A and B are shown apart, each in its own frame.
Chain A
Amino acid sequence: MADLPTKINLTIVARERKIIDAVVDEVILPGYDGELGILPGHTPLLALLKIGELRYRSGATWSRLVISWGFAEVLPERVIVLAERGVLPSEIDRAAAEAERTSAEKELAYLSSHDPEFAIVEARLEESVALINLGREH
């Protein structure tokens, strides 16, 4: 039997920059239909990601970041994430995220759910909530 890889090379690329390039033991992706846990040796997979928290573990430490919308390519020994935007915990501006959430909530109240604007504002809301949640724990 072929040896299964024991580590994953995790690369997270946002549009403007490469965010993370690391060797890790486990990755949890915010998949389109729910969270996807990836361990070394995973079946090749192409997944659509939504706005949310991406977690990865190396050794016993978990690291987290918020990504907004993207794709992930999973190979047995490699995970590549293409994200629209990625924010590390150290970069979170909680006050700005709170303000964003309030304004997005207000705007949502006036929009009907089939308005094309609705999805955009909703995405803003989801992102700010994810940022606040992650920011609170740091």
Chain B
Amino acid sequence: MPSTIDLRRRIRSIKSTQQLTKAMKMVAAAKLRRAQERMFAARPYAAGLREMLTSISTRVNVKKHPLLAEREREDKVLLIIVTADRGLCGAFNTNVIRGAMNTIAEKKWPEVQLLPIGNKSNAFFRRRSLPLRRQGLQLMQALGHDTVREIATMITEDFINGDLDAVYVIYNEFKSIIAQKVTLERLLPLQRDWAEGQEPEIEYLYEPGPEQILGELLPRHIEFQLYRILLESAAAEQGARMTAMEAATKNAGELVDSLTLNYNRIRQAQITKEIIEIVSGAAAAGK
């Protein structure tokens, strides 16, 4: 039977862990709100881009554009793996990494390069035999346009040169505050997720020509897609951390309850024992 001192010590240590997880949960909640705001703030721009692409695709033969052209074979593939920089967010990182490994095994691309974004995937894939394109360390912390642009420019160039046939991204999609879903998305060649082939409702003038506008629009679109994905992953990470910390806080509470019960029982047994000793001692003396 553990002594009361041991039990008290354990209870105290669990309580301080609980405070820690509770604090982390609150921090995650605050960060989640900010991440969500950034996500929502990016929506009008995304909608605007899509609208313009729709409008232009009715006028230009979009299939001619190299960034939209489907390749016959996907031989050389780049897989971008987006994880968090830090752990303590449940299965968030492991899910993406497992998803990436499964995808690589399933698709059997002859030549795969990886571009891990986030410390966790970097740490994991650094020790694997797969070739890394470059390391995207600490990217998630300072999520800005410059770093996104750098990556977007690099993959676009490699794609046009023929060094890459396709670029995929695997990441945690933000479904809701409590739900994330590992999603594989093709970044290049661009998926035409905008409406196409509809009769143009409005006859536009183009300034300069439609081809030129398309040429400028598409790289921005790729960049923005990548940016959107990173924002989603950042929000999903905070959501996952919040859920994980909530569960940890609850578990710690349950543990404290059961330990306290145990502690009180032992304490009571001890008191009872002492009283019995005194009583029987007194009884013996009074005889």
Interface residues of A in 68-107 (CB under 8 A from B): 71, 73, 75, 80, 82, 84
Are the CB atoms of B38 and A15 closer together than 8 Å?
no
- Cβ-defined contact, A46 with B204, below 8 A: yes
Interface positions, chain B 197-212, Cβ under 8 Å from A, are: 202-208, 210, 212
Given contacts A48-B212, A71-B213, A73-B52, contact A33 B38 (CB under 8 A): no
Q: Which residues of B contact A46 (CB under 8 A)?
A: 52, 55-56, 204-207, 210, 213
Q: Are A48 and B208 CB-contacts (below 8 A) given A73-B52, A80-B48?
A: yes
Q: How far does the Cβ of B206 sit from chain A's closest Cβ, in whole Å? A: 5
Which of B44, B202, B206, B210 makes the CB contact (< 8 A) with A13?
B44
- Within the complex, what minimum Cβ distance (angstroms) separates B76 from chain A? 23
A window 5-47: CB within 8 A of B: 13-18, 31-33, 36, 43-47
Report the bound CA distance from A37 to B41 in whole Å: 29
Contact A13 B56 (CB under 8 A): no
When distances are taken between beta carbons in the complex, the residues of chain B under 8 Å from A48 are 207-208, 212-213, 216
B200: nearest chain-A partner, CB-CB: A44
A73 surroundings in chain B (CB, below 8 A): 48, 51-52, 55
In the complex the two chains form, is A75's CB within 8 Å of B202's CB?
yes
Q: Which of A33, A43, A71, A82 contacts B205 (CB 8 A)?
A: A43
B216 touches A15 (CB 8 A): no
In the bound assembly, the distance between CA atoms of A71 and B47 in angstroms comes to 13
Given known contacts A33-B208, A46-B213, A48-B208, A82 and B45 CB-to-CB distance under 8 angstroms: yes
Residues in A with CB closer than 8 Å to B220 are: 84
In addition to A43-B205, A46-B205, A71-B216, 9 A-B residue pairs with Cβ atoms within 8 Å of each other are: A15-B145, A15-B224, A16-B42, A32-B207, A46-B52, A46-B56, A46-B207, A46-B213, A71-B213
B residues apposed to A, CB below 8 Å:
38, 41-42, 44-45, 48-49, 51-52, 55-56, 145, 202-208, 210, 212-213, 216-217, 220, 224, 227
Q: Which residue of B is nearest A14, CB measured?
A: B45
A16 to B44 Cα, complex, angstroms: 9
Give complex CA distance A3, B132 in Å: 62
Q: How far is the CA of A48 from the CA of B208 in the complex (A)?
A: 7
- The docked-state distance in angstroms from the alpha carbon of A46 to that of B203 is 10
In the complex, the answer to whether A17 meets B207 with C-beta atoms within 8 Å is no
Contacts A15-B224, A46-B55: A32 and B208 contacting too (C-beta < 8 A)?
yes
CB distance A45 to B205 under 8 Å?
yes
Known: A46-B207, A71-B213. A82 touches B52 (CB 8 A): yes
A residues near B48, Cβ cutoff 8 Å: 13, 71, 73, 80, 82
Task: Give the contacting residue for B45; candidates A13, A31, A32, A47; CB below 8 A.
Answer: A13
Q: How far is the CA of A107 from the CA of B156 in the complex (A)?
A: 26
The residue of chain B having its C-beta at the shortest distance from the C-beta of A29 within the complex is B207
Pick from A15, A33, A71: contact of B42, CB below 8 A: A15
Q: Which interface residue of A13, A14, A73, A80 has the most chain B CB atoms within 10 A?
A: A13
CB distance from A125 to the nearest CB of B (A): 17
Most buried by A among B202, B207, B208, B210: B207
A15→B42 CA distance, assembly (Å): 6
Collect the chain B residues with CB atoms within 8 Å of residue A82's CB: 45, 48-49, 52
B41 near A17 (CB under 8 angstroms)?
yes
> Which residues from chain A contact B204 at a C-beta distance below 8 Å?
44-46
Q: A51 CB to closest chain B CB, in angstroms? A: 13
A71 to B203, CA, bound (A): 17
A-B residue pairs in contact (CB < 8 Å), sample of 30: A13-B44, A13-B45, A13-B48, A14-B45, A15-B42, A15-B45, A15-B224, A16-B38, A18-B41, A44-B202, A44-B203, A45-B204, A45-B206, A45-B207, A46-B52, A46-B56, A46-B204, A46-B206, A46-B207, A46-B210, A48-B208, A71-B52, A71-B213, A71-B216, A71-B217, A73-B52, A75-B202, A80-B48, A82-B49, A82-B52
